[in-house]
Amino acid sequence: MNGSLFGTPAKVHLDQSELAKLARAAEFDGRRVDPTIFGSLMEEILGHDRRWELGAHYMHEVDINEDRPADDN
C-alpha cells in the first residue's frame, strides 16, 4: 500500500514482554500465509470511505481470472 496510510506513523511503547512476543512473531514463516488475506486486511484497515476516495478495491484472483478473456494460443 502506498499513499498516506503510513504518512504519520504512530509511536508505540512496548514493554519487555510485548517486545519478546513481537520478536517471536517475527520468526514466523510468512511463506505459509495465503497472500489473498492481505487484500481483505487492506479493505478493513482503510474503511469504506477511504477505499472509495483512493479507488482501492481488492479483487480475488479467481474473480480476475473469470473476467479475463481466454488465451487463443
Average predicted confidence (pLDDT) for the chain: 80
**Which run of H or E residues covers position 20?**
helix 16-26
For the chain, the straight-line distance linking the first and the last C-alpha, in angstroms and rounded, comes to 34
Q: What does each C-alpha distance from 5 to 13, 14, 21, 39, 49 come to in angstroms?
A: 20, 22, 25, 15, 13
The Cα–Cα gap between 45 and 54 comes to 13
HSE at residue 45, side-chain half, CA atoms within 13 A, is: 13
For residue 27, what pLDDT band results from cuts at 50, 70 and 90?
very high
pLDDT at position 15 is 97
> So where are the chain's domains?
31-68
pTM for the model stands at 0.41
